[in-house]
Structure 1
């Protein structure tokens, strides 16, 4: 989930009781009154159960009527507890030690033995018979998927009901419910249902999902919100060694390395749907690591997991999530292949992890059915993706849902639709929704247009002094086929107005054929980019600001840019863009120059560069997911896919008084990396070369960073224009261990800090001909005798939102006025 979307949902959700058939809750203790964790608690003569938490507490509910509760734990006598009522929420259960078997019992509260442990023997059988997800065993597959997403306010009590924020919305508390895992009183605030057909070809490595119907509470047209909600949940396979949840890689209890991270206890055995199964309880060996606790049932012949639940410990190093629970059920096909039949995911978002803190429950239920295999599709089947908004999918009638729901809504969920649809017509609720929208997009919405972005209203630098900027865009909906946006800025020191305006039009939605153009006159720091983004008519680099700079940030340029572009997407996530641009560049500061010689004798100079360019840009982003079908789409899985970028630029002399002929090629590759339980990394490689003679303003400046904040793919210890090249190769590597090391240090582990390391290097050269053109007074030096490099160490997750890194220069200490050390900070809402 993007940071903006997560913040939007958090603001939206954060700003009596209906009964199921049977509810039980309480605490399990031993004879000395000490809480017993990881105790197996199930409804007798069923497989519906849970395990007690670290504090011995448990909660369990069922849609069925049950009269007895079975409580069992290795080394203790099994207790059968009669249930006098449908709701029993204050049970205190005491287990007696089983003295006759104490000699056979291994340690069950603490570290269990890795040897002579029947639970681990069973685990090894699972590894030996380990299979990929069931559909992977076939050449082709297809199935129907029903998905239900819900968001619920947690901690509904009298203080919440009386809160002034709910004035005019008091009726919603009549619809409060009980969470089936925790037993807490909740208030549903969002529900979304969808039915899809999923097709896949394992030979061709293709997959397609066709949405058949979508229904939600009051936000039918807000596909950004729906996409943001869906992005809360990740796809995962419990048989993998690592399970990705909220951008974190948890060690799976079925992992081949699980015995190093978990304790395992064989707890029970019984028939589940005529299959004899063993029950194994597992829990973490160490605190603060990305691990789960829970139990699973495994068949004694196929050694396939029949049912599993996973619950993250509260001390797990993951932000904003107080509780995390996963439950999966599988069907065994022909005693060989297992197919997932049901998946349930639940997370409780909260500002703190205190027991009584209030938050938001996010829940997802998925049901899978109608499996079919080895039905080969036509060659172009997987190329036919949805390319325009189909309103019918979002207005399906009751008959459609009656026929396609794979799991019926209960009465409470049906009532929620009524409540939430009414809520969207309450002014107080719409005010909260508007605030969330501003937080997500940065724009204030009006009828047909938006004002913003509000984050760019004020700035400062040495050239402009204090600067103010106002802007806006047309916006009738996220599927708009055209959009116009622009801004007007004013500097109080240079007493000049600046502006930018852009327009784009989607000519063909199937091929995503878009024509766009724009004009910009502004002041920009060009020394913070390798020129891959200098045709942006609306953007402005953080490096242009003097509010957060180290030393003087006066090497700023005037830029007058006009562009016309045509782009098309011939294949999914493959974009081709043709563009023509005209730029005029000059110095914006008396302390800085872009001058160049105009004659061989070096007696005449020019201060303004006029240049016409034709460019061809190819961008490939495999795995990228987007929402919306208009001229602009939102990416819903940022930082989850690689990016390949290639740019070929042709500079044309004497076209619109252009000054230079040249050719320029650039290649960029960015790759997010998951390194198992060792965290997340990001690596990038960039290379470029300019053929022809060009002045400083058209060369490739190695991007320095004189700000106190992290800037993507820059060099924090370099000053602006410290290195200039016409040929370069640059590489960056950053890694976040996600607290893997700190979690093993007592006391420090309680802070949930995260270790950061990084390294970056660049090699480049500059021709003597380009040096001879330079009349700016800035020495043109390139890191040619050896690659320039930096390295960094840092600490992340300080107060859950701050990261601080220390950067060290590796060489080229002889460069005048160079820095050997720098500190940068970054802010963000990260899990």
Structure 2
């Protein structure tokens, strides 16, 4: 993906508009800076349309190679109207997926947007997305390589984003979805077993950064230490008999991230994520703890790429929960100043997960465990050893320690690239 982005660089730089009275070297600098900034955010910018690198090429166990095009219109196209579309194709499942979305800015000062969308795509079973996170971009998404449990959904959505203050953002959304698991699955209800189902879901999310100034100023916007702590809360309600919704359930999700920067250059980070679900909730909308270990016999057969906040020794589809909490502690040591360009970094990591699930027998044709005993793993990463790549070692211990010592070990690559 990164090299494909560079391939477009010359075209992009030629397409940027600059002031005619600027010196040539200033024009070149502005073009380069705009391109690098766009690339870091996952875009190849052109005058009217910014190509989104997330859709260029990916790989997972269900679709195989997934490739396509997508992006969003720029301010040069319109500052009030934003179009965001994509189309992709999976070679293994031989199927196109796409999304068509349009947004209208209702209030400039409060950054209020009304968005309508239609999406026909896949979603990882058990995953949770906070609406306030909006768009997330990584040059390389390691967990995606090994995911095999998806459900197909056709979703119509209406959403409203509103920034109450500089440090408080809210998003409300209502969606109607047709859910079709891509694996043999049945959910037992009072009206029989559902293999496919329709959901009518309302969501409300808010994200608060209490130490960030509530009023926007140039000084505050550049003061990154005010970004933490970050607190996110989201409520989800699935409603029956509204647009033919089949199931009624609710979910409450919480996440907080905090960083402590020390005077010696070390950084400590804590991430707490928790969720609770009640009602008739199918496997598709339960919780997993972001596992990232594939089911293979030896350590080297399981050798892959470590995720950012995933449990590296937890096997995919090993646990699902209707209530859970995870805590991740990371301590970033000051980078080793070997040379001006070569500065690897050691990160110490501990992760803990606790959860439970009621009535697992309602989920047919699948088996999974509960996290009620508490899951623990610890390890370290040595990042940026070569071209952004590093190594990680993680060990699983405690209540879910496995009899074969090798099955408790995860040895993987890491990937960190800073533009």
- TM category (shorter chain) comes to 0.7 to 0.9
Deviation at 1:510, TM superposition (A): 2.5
The TM-score, its normalising length taken from structure 1, stands at 0.42
Please say if 1:464 is aligned against 2:58: no
Matched, 1:571 2:162: no
2:416 is equivalent to residue 828 of structure 1: yes
Aligned with 2:49 (options 449, 465, 469): 449
Query: What is the TM-score of this pair, normalised by structure 2?
Result: 0.79
> SS at the partner of 1:723?
coil
The whole-number CA distance in structure 2 between the counterparts of 1:518 and 1:430 is 34
For 1:506, the equivalent position in structure 2 comes to 105
Counterpart in 2 of 1:56? none
1:700 counterpart SS class: coil
Query: Matches of 1:749 and 1:512 in 2, distance apart?
Result: 41
Q: Give the 5 Å matches for 1:367-766.
A: 421-423=22-24, 436=36, 439-450=39-50, 452-454=51-53, 456-477=55-76, 480-527=79-126, 529-532=127-130, 542=141, 545-546=144-145, 549=146, 553-588=147-182, 592-599=183-190, 604-622=192-210, 637=224, 640-677=227-264, 679-706=266-293, 708-739=304-335, 752-766=343-357
- Computing the radius of gyration from Cα coordinates, the structure with the larger value is 1
8 Å CA contact 2:157, 2:173 repeated in 1: yes
- Cα distance change, pair 750–659 in 1 and its aligned pair in 2 (3 A): closer
C-alpha change, 1:460 and 1:616, in structure 2 (3 Å) is: closer
CA RMSD, Structure 1 to Structure 2 (Å): 4.2
Once the 2 structures are TM-superposed, how far is the Cα of residue 516 of structure 1 from its aligned partner?
1.5
Structure 1 position 671, deviation (Å): 0.6
Q: Distance in 2 between matches of 1:484 and 1:759?
A: 41
How far does residue 721 in structure 1 lie from its aligned partner after superposition? 2.1
Q: Distance in 2 between matches of 1:767 and 1:824?
A: 34
Q: Distance in 2 between matches of 1:467 and 1:561?
A: 20
Deviations 1:661-720 (A, max 9, x none): 122111111111113316012111122211223221121122112483343332111122
SS of the residue corresponding to residue 291 of structure 2 reads coil
Deviation at 1:650, TM superposition (A): 1.4
Measured in 2, the distance between the counterparts of 1:782 and 1:640 equals: 34
Instruction: Report deviation, 1:538.
Output: 9.6
The DSSP-based 3-state class of the residue aligned with 2:280 is: coil
Question: In 2, Cα distance between the equivalents of 1:749 and 1:792?
Answer: 28
- Partner SS for 1:697: helix
Instruction: Judge conservation of contact 2:143–2:292 (CA < 8 Å) in 1.
Output: no
Give the deviation of 1:488 after TM superposition.
Answer: 0.6
Q: Cα–Cα, structure 1 residues 543 and 507, in superposed 2: closer, same or farther, change >3 Å?
A: same
1:138-170 deviation per Cα after TM superposition (whole angstroms, max 9, x unaligned): xxxxxxxxxxxxxxxxxxxxxxxxxxxxxxxxx
Contact 2:54 2:137 in 1 (8 A): no
Cα deviation, 1:33-79, whole Å, max 9, x if unaligned, reads xxxxxxxxxxxxxxxxxxxxxxxxxxxxxxxxxxxxxxxxxxxxxxx
Q: CA deviation at 1:434?
A: 7.0
CA contact (8 A) 1:500 1:538 kept: no
Matches within 5 A, 1:275-424: 421-423=22-24
- Structure 2 SS opposite 1:779: coil
Deviation at 1:533, TM superposition (A): 5.8
The SS at the match of 2:290 is: coil
In the TM superposition, residue 571 of structure 1 has moved relative to its aligned partner by: 2.5
> Cα 1:615–1:759, aligned 2, differ >3 Å: closer, same or farther?
same
Supply the distance in 2 between the matched residues of 1:433 and 1:517 (Cα, whole angstroms).
32
Matches within 5 A, 1:197-346: none
1:445 Cα deviation (Å)? 3.8
Q: Distance in 1 between matches of 2:49 and 2:149?
A: 36
CA contact (8 A) 2:86 2:99 kept: yes
Checking the alignment, whether the CA contact within 8 Å between 1:486 and 1:502 is kept in structure 2 is yes
Give 1:467 deviation, angstroms.
2.5
CA–CA distance in structure 1, aligned partners of residues 339 and 136 of structure 2: 44
Is the 2:125–2:151 Cα contact (8 Å) retained in structure 1? Answer: yes
Tell me the SS of whatever aligns to 1:476. coil
Shift of 1:767: 1.4
> Structure 2 matches for 1:152-167, cutoff 5 A?
none
Q: CA deviation at 1:430?
A: 8.0
Structure 2 CA distance for aligned equivalents of residues 659 and 725 of structure 1: 21
How far residue 563 of structure 1 moved from its aligned partner, in angstroms, is 1.7
Determine if contact 2:189/2:280 at 8 Å carries over to the other structure.
no
Whole-Å separation in 1 of the counterparts to 2:342 and 2:45: 40
Q: How many angstroms apart in 2 are the aligned matches of 1:492 and 1:637?
A: 42
Distance 1:662 1:797, change over 3 A: same
TM-superposed deviation, 1:826: 3.2
Q: Alpha carbons of 1:642 and 1:504: their partners in 2 closer, same or farther (altered >3 Å)? A: farther
Render the CA deviation track for 1:515-540: whole Å, top value 9, x for unaligned.
Answer: 1222221123234x345469979989
Cα offset, 1:761, TM superposition:
0.6
Contact 2:200 2:238 in 1 (8 A): yes
Q: Distance in 2 between matches of 1:824 and 1:635?
A: 35
The within-5 A match list for 1:792-811 is 792-799=379-386, 801-811=388-398
Q: How far did residue 724 of structure 1 move?
A: 0.9
Distance 1:780 1:583 in 2: 25
Separation in 2, partners of 1:795, 1:539: 22
**Structure 1, gaps ≥5 residues long:** 16-217, 221-417
Q: How much does 1:657 deviate?
A: 1.8
Do the aligned residues in 2 keep the contact of 1:718 with 1:819 (CA within 8 Å)?
A: no
Aligned to 1:289: none
User: What is the aligned partner in structure 2 of residue 779 from structure 1?
Assistant: 367
Partners of 2:107 and 2:340 in 1: how far apart?
Answer: 54
* Aligned CA distance change for structure 1 residues 508 and 706 (closer, same or farther; 3 Å): same
Aligned match of 1:150: none
Q: 1:824 to 1:502 in 2, by over 3 A?
A: farther
Check the 8 A contact 2:120/2:154 in 1, yes or no: yes
Q: Deviations over 1:555-605 (max 9, x none)?
A: 2221222221123222222122221122232222xxx333212347xxx52
Question: What displacement does 1:505 show?
Answer: 1.9
Question: What is the match of residue 300 of structure 2?
Answer: none
Inter-partner Cα distance in structure 2 for 1:638 and 1:613? 36
